[in-house]
Structure 1
């Protein structure tokens, strides 16, 4: 770094990135040199390093750092991106960084990426992979994502074989909960497959990769883009006609369930045309070891006619999932914006929010930082710090705990609920509404 820039430490420190301090807090350069560690908060130290420290500046230049994140090795790749593991330099939390070369993105891919970011930002569910922050340089775009850490469902089954009936219930129930939440918010995933179902280190399931997702005005809106992986594609996608979004996700869930309980896909072929024919014919064989309730659920999902497939509420009330205690409170979306920490009155913040507020204060994040970053939403480093901390606190409090399995006991209340769901969603006209 040029010597002239080194001599402007106070000015750079004052104005870099967040205006981390004001002139009243600055003293002489001599005092700064004597006792910098006693006067600087962790946030101030980090921003000063990013501006003045030669090693940190070099890491930022060569891509070993992106914003507040120290980038490590690659953990995945896609057609237009690669995914690397990273650590937040301030909070020390691990994250996944999806990196895209902007020069390689055509207009359609850019549009899909914009949709992916918008859809992920509008969803907040314990079984959906969370987007913490978006960073952009002239040549690259970075999506800072929750790091699941437990591998994906496809790898687990390919290496270890089919899941047990109990394991399948736990995994499928979480996928069902996530997809139901998405559909209630008018978002269709359109690329549900085992590779996009991730495990956390404690066994929680995360539905990931929203690259083909789309938001509809209503769930009966017609779509016309072929999306997803052919082995998971519904029959209507192979007919080169418009289709309704929710039944496409439902079909893919049926293929996923078949894969979980058998270790193989229901429709297989050497070529896409042969696979297309197999899917359109709807011919598949369920092994005899699959339990009868699970077989009934799969057959209820993998129906060629979209309107005849099980509705999501019907799945929740089916016999096979009856022992799964799935119902958990879903945090409100407003919690993703730290401004509510400032607007809440005495006693209005819950325990999680109070803990996050205390951590932010220790790190040196002030109300001014939060106010100055309003309007930036997912592109704010301060909001990124907040979302990462909120996720950590909620995870430590059990928000991502695996659903429990109760004994198969006759429960009149749950039987009544199941009967109600079946009655409510048995009509073809309301199955997708």
Structure 2
């Protein structure tokens, strides 16, 4: 699993002022932010007259403030995060709201109990972390930091405070045609990016599409995701939710990853524009039969261009299923400005702030660098952070701030609908949408 982070709990005990005894937390070295059992040593005494930076104040509290130590001991704090109430749960995890003690940003903590993780689940978790680390897209829920203690693993994620797509439709009804375009375009952009990086989601469903604002969505939960050597690679693990499962998954045979994600997107689109799922049954056996038969009814109020997309996706034969590039150029989505520039992955490492040459940092990075300095995070902290990647509090602070700054400048604003786009590349895709694909290679391109 992942190496121990600065917030690790030890198995020792520490007496408080009263007769109660609390588990001792590992102390934090004030200047290097590494685990240290010598936090209160003479070499780390701080001159009371010295003006402390926010980082220094926080690390002193984590070493000497009894209330903070109690919170760390009982799980009300994890590293630099103040933990609050539960906001979700899964088969192997629960999700809680938390606040970063330095930046004051809200985050979501995905908490996993190690004792409940068998070997297979541990492999899935490692794969989830690795896949999230290798992706950087405005419509994918970002991973800020990973914190590990002897008993638990914490994934620090963006807090999507406006709920999920399934809950929104279940409570408020189907989306309008325009709303559906905006949401589906963002899902399409995220999945296309994943496939271009040879990562298959394998658990796309409305519950895993989260709203970060009224119109902006993020694809989340890469717990079943997998990296393939090429997009024609055969897979054999049944993953995901049965109502969103493609026919080939019910045939107990190997399958190709991208068309499975495409099918799930078709089920989601049907759910968005009708408020119901295309295939419904009381049991998995009956659902399997319905999916294999491929019979569903599209209500007449669904626009003809949207019906064309759904029918192009929900084809039983994966080789005939609509490809992602075809969706980008389809008539229904053509007026939507779908894609935005994606920042390079190396910008997620704070060392980029120091290694970039003069004038090479953009405005967002310059602003983040200035905030880090105000918080008391020095060049030494960043250099000491090298090699720790996502398992470092410095990386966590940096990524949270970078995301906040870019979001405030509109980097994650919803797509706009501005009439037919006169773009030669997309016009050629529009013509391409009517091509019938009989080759799996074409489907996966």
Q: TM-score, normalised by structure 2?
A: 0.90
Moved over 6 A (4+): 26-29
Does residue 28 of structure 2 align to residue 17 of structure 1? no
Deviation digits for residues 382-401 of structure 1 (CA, Å, limit 9, x no counterpart) = 01100000000000010110
Shift of 1:415: 6.3
Does residue 398 of structure 2 align to residue 386 of structure 1? yes
Question: Quick check: 2:134–2:345 contact (8 Å CA) kept in 1?
Answer: yes
What does residue range 11-410 of structure 1 map to in structure 2 within 5 Å?
14=30, 17-18=33-34, 32-33=47-48, 35-36=49-50, 38=51, 40-407=52-419, 409=420
Question: Quick check: 1:352–1:393 contact (8 Å CA) kept in 2?
Answer: yes
Shift of 1:17: 2.9
Deviation digits for residues 292-351 of structure 1 (CA, Å, limit 9, x no counterpart) = 000000000000000111110100000000110112101110110011110111101000
Partners of 2:421 and 2:183 lie apart in 1 by 23
Structure 1's unaligned 5+ residue stretches are 4-10, 21-25
Given candidates 423, 427, 441, the residue that maps to 1:416 is 427
Q: Classify the secondary structure of the residue corresponding to 1:430.
A: helix
Q: For the aligned residues, what is the CA RMSD?
A: 2.2
Partners of 2:425 and 2:179 lie apart in 1 by 22
**Farther off after superposition, 200-209 or 382-391:** 200-209
Would you tell me which structure has more helix in proportion to its own residues?
Answer: 1
Deviation digits for residues 370-411 of structure 1 (CA, Å, limit 9, x no counterpart) = 11111111101101100000000000010110000113x484
Partners of 1:321 and 1:121 lie apart in 2 by 30
Provide the aligned length of Structure 1 versus Structure 2.
Answer: 417
Question: Quick check: 1:46–1:90 contact (8 Å CA) kept in 2?
Answer: yes
Structure 2's unaligned 5+ residue stretches are 1-13, 17-26, 37-41
Decide whether aligned partners of structure 1 residues 374 and 298 sit closer, same or farther in structure 2, where only a CA change above 3 A counts.
same
Deviation digits for residues 244-272 of structure 1 (CA, Å, limit 9, x no counterpart) = 00000000000000000000000000000
Shift of 1:129: 0.2
Q: TM-score, normalised by structure 1?
A: 0.92
Decide whether aligned partners of structure 1 residues 14 and 393 sit closer, same or farther in structure 2, where only a CA change above 3 A counts.
closer
Q: Classify the secondary structure of the residue corresponding to 2:270.
A: helix
Shift of 1:201: 2.5
